Structure formats: structure tokens, C-alpha cells
Structure 1
């Protein structure tokens, strides 16, 4: 049985679930999940959790993400990216300085109306299912946070590259659409590459083809504790380890408050735990039962 995390550099035209389905076959493991869906147009960092490591997905999916996105001005589509049907085209006479000024409106906490081509459910139906039938329904704006938004370069008369660091739930194609609207000429996303998710970066990612061709793919898996690498380590002696394995809390009055990666005496990663007022309790356990 395989357990661990593998960071995939998702290829274009694959869905995130396509990647997971392929890895289920490679690792012979039904329990596989990912941290943050990437649209088929997108490439880049897709953290995939295998086996017992899927218990960490809930933490990873909440984290902020970073993207490099193509912004094409003067074009609006029904999907808010260049894969969709063109709804409107307008001439573009925007300077870099004007674009830079408008970007300032989209930094910090903003409100986005989710696109119709998304997996959000309204009335029990996924929006993209309704959109494919030609239906459009009212969507409530949602608060998201744009931690940073920078103009990297101009790549054509109406094409730009943006770097976006944002909270969970942000639609970068909607950001491109809204920037175009703010400039008065319309816009859409022409490409997307995720450069960071769940704390993992592109340099941590492996091309999917390399993983599929590997003779021993399990050797490519990172331990699930790699995701919690920013927490300090706490190593327990055997009696304390037994208590943690039995779901009990520990009293360790000399240990400072905070979250810890907790290991057994032999180096087995046991749990992500919280120390509060001298008492250690398990947030989530990761040892085999």
C-alpha cells in the first residue's frame, strides 16, 4: 500500500481528476485526492495525496496559491478564458501604466461572482452543467483575497503576463475578466500556470509522464509530514507514544503552546498535534491503524 504526497506538474488538457485516476492505477491505491482543482487549460503544481496521506487534504486545500496567468484584453468569452466562445471583441488602447493603475483595485480582499463554467452548485446543480445547456443563473459574490498581483511583462499588443498570489476559491479567469471590464475593453485569461500550492513550488513538481514511466513510483512519494514541515518536531518516548496511538492527550507542561509534528521514538510520523497550556491533543493522526 502506497502512502505519501506527490507533486505533479499537471499537463495541459488534463483535468485534475484525470491525473488522480491515472495515479490510482500507478499506485494501486483507491484513496487519492488533490489539493486544489486546476482547469484543463492550466498547468503546474498539483499536490496529490495518496493512501493515508489523504487525511491531510483538508489542510492543504485551505492554503493560498500562486499563479502566472496570461491576460488578453479586448476579448470576452463565455468561459472567461480563450477556450470559450467569443461573446464580444473591442479595440484595445490601454497603456501599461493604465493597466498597472487598475490592478491596484484588485489587491487585498475583493468580491468575485463565480463564473458559470465552474463546479459550484446552485440548487443542487453544478454551474457548468447549466451553462452547457445555455442557462445562466444568478450567483452570489464571494469574498476572496488577492495577496499580491503584479504585471510581469507585455507579450503582445493586447497580451500581458500577470503573477497572482491568492486565497482559496479565487478564480483567476474571473480576475482577468473583471480587470478587462474595469479597463472598459473586456478581457479573458489566455493561459494559466500554477507555481505554488499547499506550500509546494514548481521545483518540487514532477512531470506526469515521468511518474507514469517510473519503475518504482512509490519511491517518488514524499512523506505526509513534508506538508507540515513548517511546524516544529516533537519526539515522544514509548509510553507517551502509546497514549497518542490510543487517542489520549498528554500532559507536557514544559512544552510551549503551538502545533507540532509528533513522532514516535523510532521516527514514525504519528500526528499533527496542538499543545495548549501544557496539554497535547491530536488534530489529525497519520499512523497506520
Structure 2
């Protein structure tokens, strides 16, 4: 006799913009949210280190299909650098690998910032998720291997010195593109200033297109476990979800009729004609009555779906 299958979870779709607490892993956070919402599937858009807090967008259900569009978005971090040491992990967890007695004056820090603005070459930390010959860099580093990680191109849109509360620390804000390691910024600035440095505080405040005010503390969600009635508890949780289509707000938008929506759901293109027909676009999204129907391209007078939503 076969065992009964476990329920797969609810078929809900939307984004939960979690304010991830300090000392809590991104994968752990996704698992917790998936369990709280009883969701069929979940994923996150952009890992946050356990020692970092702040915005972690978590996609539930069909929203996981829009994760790449959030991964590619701009991000804003506030971070603190402690001068005088370089650490193996480039944050508070690692052992000191180099030390210096000098401390940088504020003028020297400000003068350095333009060097780290724009498109720059950056070497990811030894303890990072970068793959080297099929292995994660952090696994190799934990085994004591010193590995050569090639530099890669990243984009820093803005790097601002917020304050220097004392000689040992400096607070910054950075707006950056995909793949930027803030820990590497601290390490490299410390080397250039001749004093070494590591991240001693890190918080992500923005992931495009989601605003900081959308963040929900994990504690707020956990408190709802006290609601004994499951239907009421899930309804209270669902109230925090943001519509799946919000992740696509930077793409061209096409409002379609119910008949057109039905064709798109079946994977068929729809014809776009007339004076108000949209311009060609490699990526766009279609909605019907505010509901996300498909992501696709606009070309040759048609909208051609690539991803279809239930």
C-alpha cells in the first residue's frame, strides 16, 4: 500500500518583501516564509549574507518566474567599514589576515570614492558563492585553499560617505548593480587607503523595483502564528503580499482583453494593430483586468508570449 502524498502547498502567487534579520540566512528565511504561507514554492531574488539585514524579496508561486527581473535590478546598501584590519571573510566572522596602525582621514576617504564609482573591476571575496571549477569559493576557502578568483565587471551608480563617527569606522551608502560585493568594496578601499578594512555592518534598503516601505519584519509575520484559525491566519499573511506583476514595472506594459488573455494562456501570439499599437520591445508584459497574464516580446505587430501565468 503506497503512502499518501503530502500536500504540495497553496497555489498562491506574489512577492513578500522581507526585512531579513541579522544572523539569519537567506535560504533559511525562504524556508520560513514558505512554511508560514503554506506555499507550494518559493524563492528569493538576491542572497543576503547572514550577517547582513534588510530587504530580501521572496517570490511565492508563479512569482518565482519573475525572479530574474528583480535579480537584475539596482540595489542600495548602507554599510559600516572598520579600519585597521583585513579579515579572511572581509566581514566580522573571519580571522585577521593583515593589520595596520594608521587610520584614514575623512578627506582621504572622500577623495577615494570616485575611483569606485561607475563600471569597475572587482574581485569577489574568497568566502563567496562564486563557482571555481564547479566548486563554491567558500567551500574551497573553508578547506584552507587560497584560490585565484578572476576580477569581474560591476557597476557602482553611487557611493556616498555618510559619516565618520570615530577614527576606526566610516559609514557609507552604495547604489549598485547586479553581482556587486560590498565586502569587496570595504576590502579594496582599505587596501588603497593603506589601513585595511572589513565590513562590520551591512543593511540592504532597496531592491528595484520594491520600496523600503514595503518591507515586513519577520517578527511581524511570526506573531501571526498566534491566530489559531488557519484560514484567518493565512488571510492575514496574504495581506502582506505584493502583486506578481510589480516585479515587471520597468518593462513595457500591455493591457489585453479577456479573449486575448485566453489566447496568451494557450501560448499563442496576439495581433497588435492600430494607431495605439505599442512599439517593438524585446520584453514586455501583458495583463487583463490587472492580472498578470504573460511575459513576452512585441515584434512584427504581435505580442508573443514566452512565460504564461495561471
- Is the structural similarity TM-score above 0.5? yes
Q: 2:272 aligns with which of 234, 242, 252?
A: 252
Q: How far off its partner does 1:28 sit?
A: 1.5
Structure 1, unmatched stretches of 5+, are none
TM-score calculated relative to the size of structure 2: 0.88
1:185 matched to 2:205? The reply is no
What is residue 11 of structure 1 aligned with on the other side?
A: 21
**Any conservation in 1 of the 2:18–2:217 contact (CA below 8 Å)?**
yes
Q: 1:225 aligns with which of 245, 262, 279?
A: 245
Q: How far off its partner does 1:187 sit?
A: 0.9
**Any conservation in 2 of the 1:9–1:202 contact (CA below 8 Å)?**
no
Residue deviations 1:226-272 (CA, integer Å, cap 9, x gap)? 212344543222322221111111111231214544222x4432123
Structure 2, unmatched stretches of 5+, are 1-9, 225-232
**Any conservation in 2 of the 1:74–1:89 contact (CA below 8 Å)?**
yes
Q: How far off its partner does 1:59 sit?
A: 1.4
Q: 1:93 aligns with which of 87, 91, 103?
A: 103
What is residue 155 of structure 1 aligned with on the other side?
A: 165
Q: Give the number of aligned pairs.
A: 286
**Any conservation in 1 of the 2:42–2:64 contact (CA below 8 Å)?**
yes
What is residue 287 of structure 2 aligned with on the other side?
A: 263
Q: 1:241 aligns with which of 258, 261, 264?
A: 261
Q: Distance in 1 between matches of 2:153 and 2:130?
A: 15
SS of equivalent to 1:179: helix
1:40-59 map, 5 Å: 40-59=50-69
**Any conservation in 2 of the 1:110–1:145 contact (CA below 8 Å)?**
yes
Q: Distance in 1 between matches of 2:65 and 2:254?
A: 20
**Any conservation in 1 of the 2:131–2:137 contact (CA below 8 Å)?**
yes
Q: Distance in 1 between matches of 2:251 and 2:129?
A: 33
Give me the CA root mean square deviation: 1.6
Q: 2:174 aligns with which of 164, 180, 185?
A: 164
What is residue 273 of structure 1 aligned with on the other side?
A: 296
Q: 1:119 aligns with which of 118, 122, 129?
A: 129
SS of equivalent to 1:145: strand
TM-score calculated relative to the size of structure 1: 0.94
Q: How far off its partner does 1:284 sit?
A: 2.5
SS of equivalent to 1:200: coil
